């Protein structure tokens, strides 16, 4: 591998319409590395999130004219007792398999958090690995009284970054737009769900 690729810091920039083909490709490559059908599912979902008007921010990393990393931030809500609160969700996060381990994912997560923070909302949510995202500023959502949109999202995996706009009354279940449900892209299903529930129970025990 070219050493300059390892030494250079990832340069993250906002996505443009010209990046859409490259974004589709990097999502398919990243999510389809082990399961091609999953890569196709997520790559099909993201254009529909765009079409639904729910995309709030989108960033890419480009190397040698190729999109090698991508992150999307889109709309969700907190169903609090007082009112429905606008919030944001980070998904998908993709790095081309041959560019992983170079800090691209970390740079994209930081860009997504920064972008969401400028929107004025109280929180940025995601479903993902506590080991990866926990070292990048995310904490378990249930710690703050924020519930996953489905019980099929393991508690340890549903995480949040809170911003200054968050207030104590903004507690409740997180609601995703219809497009995520139409694509069956909320939480996991067995056998993957059962496997991760067992893994997280042993590695990331519930918070008392």
Taking all residues of the chain, what is their mean pLDDT, rounded to a whole number? 93
CA distances from 21 to 16, 17, 34, 100 (A): 11, 9, 21, 20
pLDDT category at 2 given cuts 50, 70, 90 is very low
Number of domains composing the chain: 1
Lowest-confidence region among 85-89, 103-107, 163-167, 190-194:
190-194
Cβ-contact 52, 176 below 8 angstroms: no
- Domain hosting 71: range is 3-203
pLDDT category at 150 given cuts 50, 70, 90 is very high
Within-domain flag for 186: yes
> What pTM was computed for the model?
0.91
User: For residues 36 and 78, which has the higher predicted lDDT (pLDDT)?
Assistant: 78
For the chain, report the end-to-end CA distance as a whole number of angstroms. 46
pLDDT category at 3 given cuts 50, 70, 90 is very low
Within-domain flag for 136: yes
CA-wise closest residue to 75 among 44, 107, 120: 120
Which CATH number is 46's domain given? Answer: 3.40.630.30
Q: Is the pLDDT of residue 1 over 50?
A: no
Question: According to the model, what pLDDT value does residue 4 have?
Answer: 44
Cβ-contact 59, 13 below 8 angstroms: yes
Sign of CA dihedral 179, 124, 102, 5: positive
Count of CB atoms situated within 10 Å of the CB of 179:
18
**pLDDT by residue (tens digit) across 155-169?**
999 999 999 999 999
Within-domain flag for 208: no
Bridge-based pairing of strands 55-63 and 172-175 is unpaired
């Amino acid at each position: 591998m070219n050493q300059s690729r390892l030494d250079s810091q990832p340069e993250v920039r906002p996505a443009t319409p010209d990046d859409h083909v490259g974004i589709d490709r990097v999502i398919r490559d990243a999510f389809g590395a082990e399961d091609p059908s999953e890569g196709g599912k997520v790559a099909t979902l993201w254009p529909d999130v765009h079409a639904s008007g729910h995309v709030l921010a989108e960033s890419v990393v480009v190397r040698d004219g190729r999109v090698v990393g991508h992150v999307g931030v889109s709309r969700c809500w907190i169903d609090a007792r007082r009112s429905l609160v606008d919030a944001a969700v980070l998904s998908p996060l993709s790095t081309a398999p041959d560019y992983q381990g170079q800090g691209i994912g970390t740079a994209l997560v930081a860009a997504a958090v920064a972008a969401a923070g400028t929107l004025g909302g109280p929180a940025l949510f995601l479903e993902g690995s506590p080991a990866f995202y926990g070292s990048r500023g995310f904490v378990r959502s249930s710690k703050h009284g924020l519930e996953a949109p489905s019980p099929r999202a393991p508690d340890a995996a549903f995480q949040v970054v809170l911003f200054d706009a968050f207030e104590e009354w903004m507690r409740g279940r997180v609601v995703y737009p219809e497009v995520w449900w139409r694509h069956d892209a909320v939480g996991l299903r067995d056998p993957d769900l059962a496997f991760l529930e067992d893994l997280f129970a042993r590695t990331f025990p519930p918070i008392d």
